[in-house]
Amino acid sequence: MKQTTSILPSRGRKNWTRRYNALSTARRLTGADKRQIEAAIANAKRQDKRHKSAQDSIPFQRMFPDGICRVTDTYYTKTIQFQDINYQLSQNEDKTAIFDGWCDFLNYFDASVHFQLTFLNMAANKDTYGTQITIPLRGDEDDAIRTEYTQMLRDQLAKGNNGLIKTKYLTFGIEADGMKTAKPRLERIETDVLNNFKRLGVAAEPLNGTDRLRLLHDMLRIDDPAPFRFSWDWLASSGLSVKDFIAPSSFEFAKGNYFGIGQKRGAASFLQILAPELNDRMLADFLDMESSLIVTMHVQSVDQVSAIKTIKRKITDLDRMKIEEQKKAVRSGYDMDIIPSDLATYGAEAKKLLQELQSRNERMFLLTFLVLNIADSVPKLRNNVFQTSSIAQKYNCQLVRLDFRQEEGLMSSLPLGLNQVEIQRSLTTSAVAIFVPFTTQELYQNGSEALYCGLNALSNNLIMVDRKFLKNPNGLYHKGTGTPRKTQARAPFAAQTDRERRKRAERKNIQKVFGTGSDLHPVFLLFVRGRFRTAQAPDCPVRKQERSFATFYTNRLQNSMRKGAAA
């Protein structure tokens, strides 16, 4: 068989040569164009929806036992859980002091540290809470009272906070070449953050790898009441990864305005801040909702020099636009002082912002505010989103649904420090700090002698404390006519009161036999299981004579008791 070679006709060859020459003489791509194309390709790969499993949707690579998470090849994060303090019920002076301290806390983070604030309102596990408030039965005649008291606590728990547990977390991350470089710096930042929390009077503790995985498990498997079971020793033998222990049964992102996670339905939205002035009650109102809710704030600090240069550049652009408008006014024949109102407003605001950055202790931050609503069904989800939107409108803001970006909104709400929703608003330190994460301090202790004292007026959580372990065990009792106030006040110290009563009775019995003027002051006679024994006072040595006196009087008391029993 002969090989045949196709030869283009002369006319086609000329057309092809003309097109080739036209392509070769076209404008070549510059370095900026190449970087823009590479960024677009990387963004498209990151937002690719063709994931193989639910584990692939969770955006981190590895979790270490010490709590460090490698999110990407060069990005590492850690998480700290912090508690609440009294803010909403404080006086104005105390509120100002807390607000100033929170501003200083935010100013600690420089441009190289990205941090995320996560606020969780998640449904409580009834079994876990039930074991904490259940009074164990003892098989006596008081078991009926214990059962009734436990049922009352369960009713108050369901009635008070609607079965929600409210927790707060701070996640911070840095860029590093490897784990060896990232670990010492993350530990240094963690120490500084804990010290800053301590100055505010806030209790905080870092989370290790197991705690972070448990937190992710509770968020992703919100429909699964099973507890988190995990051990680092299981990974090597089973061949599984940590994502296999926290991933839900399925993710569903087919709909554009909501998603499915297991049997639950959720919707991710972002807060569009339109108000010229913000109120410190906004975040508290979001967290007061009686539904499952996740509020996330991604905050990125901007370098101070870069921020000032950017604002100066904007002021220059506004001045140039103002000059163009004045020239147009002169050509048109009207007063040159008449300029568009937007130019005057924006110019004044930009100059005010520049003055705050240069003369006050203010920094520039980029804020992404996300709200994630979760419900059992789509109708309940719509009601929750409508309620959240109403709260935002009350403060002259707008809650915008992340249409066709629900997956990015869900993954950005996880406490991993990764922001996939790049919708940012530039704010100063005081504007970011107005979202004060503190409401009221909880009084809940898990001790065996903790007593129910009511519901918190702001958080509606149970108040169960053991007054003997508080800094100030004093209390105030309000009583009505005929109410045994003394009995109520003595109830928390019933065990101590009973011991004191028995000691007083023993002292009286000894005084009846020996009299009040006994010479045995260094020796105490204690009644133990029906018999008296002598005990030496710590400061007075017992001499032989006193020991003989003690033996004599002990025998005398026992003989008198025998005579009384025989009679």
Q: Output DSSP code: residue 444.
A: B
Residue linked to tokens 């510059």: 30
Q: Which amino acid is at 197?
A: F
Q: Which residues contact 439 (CB under 8 A, 6 or more apart)?
A: 84, 87, 88, 284, 287, 458, 459
* Distance of alpha carbon 268 from the chain centroid: 18
* Cα distance between residue 228 and residue 211, in whole Å: 10
The pLDDT tens digits along the chain (567 residues) read: 444 444 444 444 455 455 545 444 445 778 777 888 888 777 666 555 555 688 888 999 999 999 999 999 999 999 999 998 888 878 889 899 999 999 999 999 999 999 999 999 887 665 556 666 777 888 888 888 888 888 887 777 766 655 677 899 999 999 999 999 999 999 999 999 999 999 999 999 999 999 999 999 999 988 777 788 899 999 888 888 999 999 998 899 988 899 999 889 999 999 999 888 888 889 999 988 888 899 999 999 999 888 889 889 988 988 888 888 888 888 887 777 777 777 877 888 888 888 888 888 889 999 999 999 999 999 999 999 999 999 999 999 999 999 999 999 999 999 999 999 989 999 999 999 999 999 877 777 666 667 777 777 766 677 777 777 776 666 666 555 665 655 555 555 554 556 666 667 766 665 655 555 444 444 444 433 344 444 444 444 444 444 444 455 556 555 655 555 454
3-state per-residue secondary structure call for 386-434: HHHHHHHHHCCEEEEECCCCHHHHHHHHCCCCCCCCCCCEEEEHHHHHC
Burial of 455 (0-12, 13-18, 19+ CB in 10 A): middle
Is residue 495 classed as helix, strand or coil in its secondary structure? Answer: helix
Cα dihedral 41, 42, 43, 47 sign: positive
pLDDT at position 2: 41
pTM of the predicted model, to two decimals? 0.72
Q: From CA 66, how far away is CA 76, in angstroms rounded? A: 12
pLDDT of residue 104: 93
Of 194, 180, 232, 202, the residue nearest 80 (C-alpha):
194
Please check whether residue 415 is in contact with residue 212, taking contact to mean a CB–CB distance below 8 angstroms: yes
Output the pLDDT for position 532. 43
pLDDT value of residue 159: 65
Q: Report long-range pairs for 404-407 (Cβ below 8 Å, ≥24 apart).
A: 404/256, 405/268, 406/253, 406/255, 406/256, 406/257, 406/258, 406/259, 406/266, 406/267, 406/268, 407/49, 407/57, 407/251, 407/253, 407/259
H or E element in which residue 374 lies: strand 364-375
Residue 38: its H or E element = helix 31-46
State both tokens at 339. 């300029």
CA dist., res. 422 & res. 156, Å (int): 42
